[in-house]
Amino acid sequence: MNFDDIKQGIVKLIRKAETELPSDVIKALKNANKIEEGVAKTQIEAILKNIDLAKNTKRPMCQDTGIQTFFVTVGINFPYISKLKDLITYAVKIATKEVPLRPNTVDPFTGENHKDNTGDNVPYITWDFTEGSDVHITALPKGGGSENMSKLGMLKPGVGLEGVKDFVVDEMIKAAGNPCPPTVVGVGIGGGADLAMKLGKKALLRPVGDRHKNKTIAAMEEELIKRINDSGIGPMGLGGKTTVLDVHIEKAHRHPASLPVGIAVQCWADRRANMIIHSDGSWEVK
């Protein structure tokens, strides 16, 4: 098995995520460019120019290359499961030099920057298991500016879904220009505190423009998009029609006494890339 080749594949995955935005996000930004005017339009135009430049020069589109975050679904018949964590970690170290990535991992006690984007519990990997022998990896490098606007609300169940919607809209208005709007907002409803936050983050994996298959949830997504965009915060908080490109909701059953709502915010640089590793070690980055 050529593990070096798989490592290079993961480096390619990281490079793609950092330098090329998914087509669904570009499409949404181009739509925003059509409806915005004045200062708001200057912002969307700069974003679109920046996306082109980053792709053509193979440079990270944003200097904040984020905390390296991966969602991995492992086919239980993949023969090298025990190697995956090390491969991802080493690939992050290589990518830091080669892409390059900004050294973004700081020890919270000593303040020391680890300089290779690894450290305690980082890269942050979420594991899931499935039938088959392929491994699916999604890279979701997560910037600090948008992550800082994350919110957890342990709401009283009595406020109901109206209370959930108000909470999300209020928090996004409070966040204003800080998370680099137009953003993509992931909302996790239900579960416990940690699960609500996790579902919010996982909701960001869905393509922009994709509606939840549950019609009630899809309707709530649409209502939230409208209400947040009606706030007028606009691109970079300078005023305009586009504050969010999308809102995605995921749910879990909750305790009768709890109504947790987790909000994960992603900046316009909604960076995502996917990779499949087959059991013979061959791989594709999409």
Binding stretches for another protein (CB under 8 A): 38-39, 42-43, 46-47, 49-50, 53-54, 57, 59-65, 100-104, 106, 113, 115, 143-145, 148, 176-180, 232-239, 267-269
Nearer to another protein, 6 or 47 (CB): 47
Q: Please state the closest distance from residue 129 (CB atom) to another protein, in A.
A: 34
**DSSP per residue over 244-284, as a string?**
EEEEEEEEEEE-TT-EEEEEEEE-S----EEEEE-TTS-EE
Q: Please state the closest distance from residue 254 (CB atom) to another protein, in A.
A: 32
Q: Please state the closest distance from residue 4 (CB atom) to another protein, in A.
A: 24
Task: Enter the tokens of residue 170.
Answer: 């209020």
Nearer to another protein, 28 or 277 (CB): 28
Task: Enter the tokens of residue 29.
Answer: 């930004």
Order across the sheet with 69-75: list the strands.
Answer: 124-130, 69-75, 135-139, 273-277, 283-285
Cβ(75)–Cβ(135) below 8 Å: yes
Q: Please state the closest distance from residue 104 (CB atom) to another protein, in A.
A: 7
**37 beta partners:** none
Nearer to another protein, 53 or 219 (CB): 53
Nearer to another protein, 89 or 183 (CB): 183
